Chains A and B, each alone.
Chain A
Amino acid sequence: MSRTDKYEKIERIGEGTYGTVYRARSLLTQEIVALKKVRLDDEDDGVPSSALREICLLKELRHPNIVRLLDVIHTEKTLNLIFEYCDQDLKKYFDSCNGDIDAKTVQSFFWQLLQGLSYCHEHSVLHRDLKPQNLLLTKNGQLKLADFGLARAYGIPVKCYSSEVVTLWYRPPDVLFGAKIYTTSIDIWSAGCIFAELANGGKPLFSGESVDDQLRRIFKVIGTPTEENWPGVSTLPEYKPFSIYQPTLSLIHFVPKLNNKGKDLLLRCLICNPNQRISAVDALQHPYFSDIQSVN
């Protein structure tokens, strides 16, 4: 049996960043897996860089809240990535829960998201594209970070354009202003947006239509940053002055169902100045999680 014959495709379940994803079965173990198929002859550049990054980084990461890459199988025309199977993503989960997620589930999902993120950051990996579509859920309530196609090791100044990193709604103000050096804080902002979205039953917090619209929506809620509260903001490559919004309603009013500890944690994630955002490891120590019952 050749290596590719080890898996039998069952059904197509979607399109990933760079290939078609199938639900498949291992013929050796009968285990259900997700098979991401990348057709190399469609590519002008050989193995796509997103697939290359995903493989290189995911091979190093083993954590219950990070999707496991089980195998990589090369054939002449395709590259097959075999992942552990998860039933749905958080976006689909939002669609199915009619705007209401109970507080314990919100807490558990955010806890698991931070666990996975903390592990990534300890291993020098930035995800850079956190959004509900990239968070997978298993039947027993486990949440796993997936789609590391934009991820990279950090500490490296990147020649990069903000439009290539992080879907607009989850993109932090520093990246929206064209910051070139990213740190772990980029993922914390996205995680904070997802936390608010969880607390609001799947309603996105900042759903901008353009970079300017996104920044305006953010500043209307948390206030426009100034040189006083964010030294250096005006020197960012794509900085432009915005009206000074004095938020009439604090951020906490946008997450009415979240308890006070949760609101405090959210405020610490969604700080414009990236240097002041809480780290994943510190967020896990926040009193909001004092009564957490771990799923892992």
Chain B
Amino acid sequence: MEREQLVTMFSVEKSFHVINKSIKSHSKRRLIANGLNKLSDDEKMSDDIFALTMNIFDRFILKYSQLINDHHCQLIALSCYSLAKKLRTNVLINNENEQTSWIFLNENYSDEEIFDTEQLIAETLDWDLSTVVPHDYIQLIFQAVLPNEVDQAKIRLHVHILLSLGICELNTLTILPSVLCCACIKAALKGLSIVSIHQIDELLLKLIHCKKSELIQTQHMIEKLFQSCLQEIVPSPTRRCLAPIDTSNKTNTSPRVK
């Protein structure tokens, strides 16, 4: 059953060729990503909501031809978040926009603004919003390659952190969600020294049919990013998703690791 599900998901997942315009060049992208990560964390949304939000945000920024000022950029981010929640949860939204928008600045956005922007985003992307994200693979890949692993919960936590980090910092649109997920699983296993990497390489490559070089390159990118961020977080982590990775007892903990 899991194998069939994986095969179906591989057939519908997408990566995007980003030409000319770099999403990373958008000056506010990092701030937006961190803000949305914190917001979805505060609202106790699962991490796939954050991943889908950034996917929609990045694709919209790529496709939208008009100039976007800071105010508009934050409005777009919140609207992407609202769309992702509608697509993936059954939670009522309850008009909480007024409170949640404080996350970015002391600016508020009305429901009407958010909903108008939702419609602009949906139309600009031709309603192609229901995309597969890396998190969708975690459970299925774990079942396939680590069925008897006792430390699944720990590995899973690290994979989630690495994915959040990657999505905050990298141009993940160009990487297939299955490859990004596997690269983070590999990086987590390596970091935790849990399973023989050689053995896991074989299993993963058999499962996802990507080139070994592509998987290793993505894994290196994630590891490099993690190393550079690790240096940033001492002594006080600004990025919540990173806190659990730090194993020293001295550093702060975030609510996610309690």
Contacts and interface: CB of A to CB of B under 8 A. Distances in A.
Interface in B113-149: 114-115, 118-119, 122-123, 126-130, 132, 135-137, 139-140
B83 A52 contact: yes
Nearest to B118: A46
Contact of A124 (B8, B92, B114): B8
B82 interface: yes
B1 interface: yes
Given A46-B119, A47-B119, A160 B8 contact: no
B46 A47 contact: no
Given A46-B115, A72-B127, A153 B132 contact: yes
Interface string A22-60: 000000000000000000100011111100110111011
Given A56-B87, A57-B130, A153-B130, A46 B111 contact: yes
Secondary structure of the B side of the interface? Answer: helix
Contact of A47 (B86, B88, B139): B86
A86 B246 CA distance: 59
Interface string B1-25: 1001110110110000000000000
A285 B253 CA distance: 55
A40 B5 contact: no
A45 B128 contact: no
A184 B118 CA distance: 30
Contact of B90 (A123, A164, A275, A279): A164
B90 A46 contact: no
Contacts of B129: 52, 56
Interface in A140-175: 152-161, 164
B127 A55 contact: yes
A127 interface: no
Contacts of A72: 127
B95 A44 contact: yes
B223 interface: no
Interface string B49-66: 000000000000000000
A47 B115 contact: yes
A183 interface: yes
A164 to B, nearest CB: 5
B9 A155 contact: yes
Interface residues of A, number: 36
B115 A40 contact: yes
A63 interface: no
A122 interface: yes
A124 B95 CA distance: 31
A263 interface: no
A280 to B, nearest CB: 11
A271 to B, nearest CB: 13
B93 interface: yes
A121 B48 CA distance: 21
Given A155-B8, A183-B5, A56 B130 contact: yes
B238 interface: no
A160 B126 CA distance: 27
A123 B130 CA distance: 12
Contacts of A123: 8, 12
A47 B122 contact: yes
A161 B90 CA distance: 8
B86 A45 contact: yes
Contacts of B130: 53, 56-57, 60, 152-153
A56 B55 CA distance: 15
Given A59-B127, A156-B136, A49 B86 contact: yes
A46 B118 CA distance: 8
A52 B128 CA distance: 10
A59 B203 CA distance: 35
Interface of A: 40, 44-49, 52-53, 55-57, 59-60, 72, 74, 79, 121-124, 152-161, 164, 181, 183, 275, 279
23 contacts: A44-B95, A46-B111, A47-B115, A47-B122, A49-B90, A53-B130, A55-B127, A56-B87, A56-B129, A74-B123, A123-B8, A123-B12, A152-B87, A152-B130, A153-B12, A155-B8, A155-B137, A155-B140, A156-B88, A158-B88, A158-B90, A160-B90, A181-B139
The 6 closest A-B pairs by CB, nearest first: A46-B115, A49-B86, A56-B130, A45-B93, A124-B8, A124-B12
Given A49-B86, A52-B86, 10 more contacts: A45-B115, A56-B87, A56-B128, A59-B128, A60-B128, A74-B119, A122-B8, A152-B87, A155-B140, A164-B90
